[in-house]
Structure 1
């Protein structure tokens, strides 16, 4: 499948079924680099953290382009414990989106690692790369269809206030 222009990293904690793990599939297809230790996370990369104070906006495009994006692949059941320790990177929370993956379908915010990385790419203006990631799964197109308007709105925002306003209007 080949690589992308944007550097993607997955910090895998091995808490989920490896056969259903979207992060491992990204790694197998050469689309993301698997990180095995916390200290391997690039400090200037955008790290997707559901508890981060700052929300991802299109203004994060330069950081994504230069340093990449990190998804922490862990179980949603253990997410609070995982993120209770600080990650040394540019922590960002994704704005609310609706997952299409079969595990958490329809539960706002509970995205798979692949959906989270694709959403980040889409919001920061790398729409072609986002679609390439989502093409790995049958439900990838469903994710785009469910969130098309939201992703477009989020990708037009330049400030956190704008993102929060869009979130409020939809949710």
Structure 2
């Protein structure tokens, strides 16, 4: 799958996972909404959860993430055209937010989406550029497997609810 990032550039460039992905030609950065291609947009404010059924959305070829600081990641920031989907409950492995639920970096969001959409090898490849990348997959092994086995968004939400109820 092609990985695209609507890049705001408002966070620490030394910690920016999107910039590192771009340096390794694993993702393409875009400075405007108009330049960002249509695809499945990873949006924590979306009404529907990402599921394997979304593989067919936007021809199943393009994943889009917004890379900005958490302080500016309000709902208004997600004005990108595309099929907006929220990632289900997962735990961050990045050094800044380790162990915090739903505080994923751009690369963690991409890896989670790729895994859910049936591309675990590509998920591993993008995470391989980060010393903590494998830890993300280890921390979330069970939920990622379960989410990837769901038929649709409602099934993903039901699995997610099991984790939230714990």
Q: How many residues are aligned here?
A: 164
CA contact (8 A) 2:49 2:154 kept: no
Q: 2:80 aligns with which of 87, 91, 95?
A: 87
Aligned to 1:3: none
**For residues 75-122 of structure 1, what are the alpha-carbon distances to aligned partners after superposition, in whole Å with 9 as ceiling and x for unaligned?**
111111653x63221111011100000111111111000000010000
CA contact (8 A) 1:98 1:111 kept: yes
CA contact (8 A) 1:74 1:82 kept: no
How far has the Cα of 1:64 moved from its partner? 6.3
Aligned to 1:62: 56
Q: 1:130 aligns with which of 105, 119, 123?
A: 123
User: Which 5+ residue runs of structure 1 have no aligned equivalent?
Assistant: 1-5
The answer as to 2:70 corresponding to 1:76 is yes
- Which one is further off, 116-125 or 65-74? 65-74
Aligned to 2:32: 37
- Paired with 2:79 and 2:12, the residues of 1 have a C-alpha distance of 25
* CA RMSD, Structure 1 to Structure 2 (Å): 1.4
CA contact (8 A) 1:12 1:74 kept: yes
TM-score with structure 2 length normalisation? 0.94
TM-score with structure 1 length normalisation? 0.91
Secondary structure of 1:26 counterpart: helix
CA contact (8 A) 1:42 1:67 kept: no
User: Which 5+ residue runs of structure 2 have no aligned equivalent?
Assistant: none
CA contact (8 A) 1:64 1:124 kept: no
Secondary structure of 2:140 counterpart: helix
